[in-house]
Amino acid sequence: MSAFPPIEELLAHRGAMLLVERVIAREPSGIRVAATVDRKAWYAGSDGSMPGWIGIELMAQAIATFAGLAAHDRGERPRPGFLLGTRRYDAQCDRFAAQMTLEVSAHESFREPDGMSAFECTIAHDGRVLASATLKVFEPPDLEAFLAS
């Protein structure tokens, strides 16, 4: 039994767009989540593999899980956030093999009061880093006001 809530309680993603499965570990400024490459998923190639560029979405979902856990701790529902991008996504492979279990880590390197933050992220398998990036994200304190502006 996990010490963490089910991933569906932490993320707004559902169905085929929910790519991470569970929280592995949490630290005050970071998180590690697990994701298994599903050979039958919408992204799967003819060999059942996942294109390497989807790693950016895995990293974004790790960050969203980190924010979702913080919301859960406050008794709130997960809030929408926005992936702003990355300057460099460094992948050691162009595809993640079918059924491979990936460990996705995200560690917050800074957070501004307006909701802008950056995370150092990695994707690893069996202790070997397969991809890394710094992702910039934005979680507005008041989503309705932000959308209305």
pLDDT tens profile 73-85: 999 988 889 999 9
Q: In one letter, which amino acid is 138? A: F
What are the start-end ranges of the E strands in the chain?
22-27, 30-36, 50-51, 82-85, 89-91, 95-96, 101-111, 116-125, 128-138
pLDDT of amino acid 55: 97
Residue 145's pLDDT band (cuts 50, 70, 90): confident
> What percent helix, strand, coil does the chain show, rounded to 5?
25, 40, 40
pLDDT of amino acid 79: 86
Secondary structure of residue 43 in the 3-state scheme: coil
> Is the model more confident about 58 or about 79?
58
Judge whether residue 143 has pLDDT over 80.
no
Secondary structure of residue 143 in the 3-state scheme: helix
Q: How far is CA 121 from CA 24, 48, 116, in A?
A: 15, 24, 16
Q: Could you tell me the end-to-end alpha-carbon distance of the chain, in angstroms, rounded to an integer?
A: 44
Least confident range from 7-21, 94-108, 119-133: namely 7-21
pLDDT of amino acid 1: 57
Residue 49's pLDDT band (cuts 50, 70, 90): very high
- Give every CB contact of residue 134 below 8 A, 6+ residues apart in sequence: 86, 87, 88, 109, 118, 119, 120, 121
Residue 13's pLDDT band (cuts 50, 70, 90): confident
Domains and CATH numbers, the chain: 7-148 (3.10.129.10)
Put simply, whether the predicted model's pTM sits higher than 0.85 gets the answer yes
